[in-house]
Amino acid sequence: MPPPPVGNCTKWSSWAAQNGAAPLGWHQVQITLTAWDDLAVIVDTFRVDVLRVSYEPAQGTPVLCSLGGADITPRHLAVRISDFASTVTAHAAGGAQVDKSFAFVMKPGDTERLMLDIQGLDDAGTYHWVGLLDLLVDNQRKTVAVTSADGEPFVLHGKAADAARYGWSDGKWRPLSI
């Protein structure tokens, strides 16, 4: 297996995809929204559509990149994917669950970031999913599909055939005790 990219973990997703891999158990996706200069937008809800689930464990070698630091994203959504019913819960920066509605208004030209923390609810082998962002634009309901950078559904492996995990340390892959 080739060495991972230098720097922080944000480069690992594209590196993994280039090597034929996908996230295992947990994944973060950042979405940046910008309202047009002449229209206000109401961001109503974020939903998940699981398109396909397979129940065989993922093959390959699980590797981890240790994340650190504070979450300063003002809009954080915990997404729990399931083959039965997925849930999306709004959280404030720092992790506290928000009891009020997720909906918010973007004035013309505003930019917002959403951080999605995606995790499988059960141990299904692999989830293929897309996000659905429900908007109100110029008094018209619109739904925008949120997909991977190449326009394909996101892939999240729920479990792996191999329980061992590896991390990059001192220039080589080393087994991790989890």
pLDDT by residue (tens digit) across 4-15?
887 766 677 778
Note whether residue 12 is domain-resident: no
Overall domain count for the chain: 1
Residue-wise pLDDT tens digits, 49-94: 999 988 777 777 777 775 544 444 567 888 988 888 888 988 876 6
Does the residue 171 lie in any domain?
A: yes
Who has greater pLDDT, 9 or 156? 156
Domain annotation covers residue 14: no
8 in a structural domain: no
Residue 41's pLDDT is 92
Flag whether 60 is in a domain.
Answer: yes
Structural domain containing residue 60: 22-176
In a domain, 9, yes or no: no
Q: Check residue 95 and give left, alpha or beta (phi > 0: left; psi -120 to 50: alpha).
A: left
Print burial letters for 13-24: b (CB count within 10 Å at least 16), e (below 16): beebeeeebbbb
Max CA pair span of the chain: 56
Q: 3-state class of 15 per DSSP? A: helix
Closest-CA residue to 119 (of 65, 77, 58): 77
The answer to whether residue 10 sits within a structural domain is: no
Look at residue 6 and tell me if it is in a domain: no
Q: What is the pLDDT of residues 89-142, one digit of tens each?
A: 888 766 677 777 788 999 999 998 888 888 876 666 788 999 999 999 988 999
> Is residue 177 scored above 60 in pLDDT?
yes
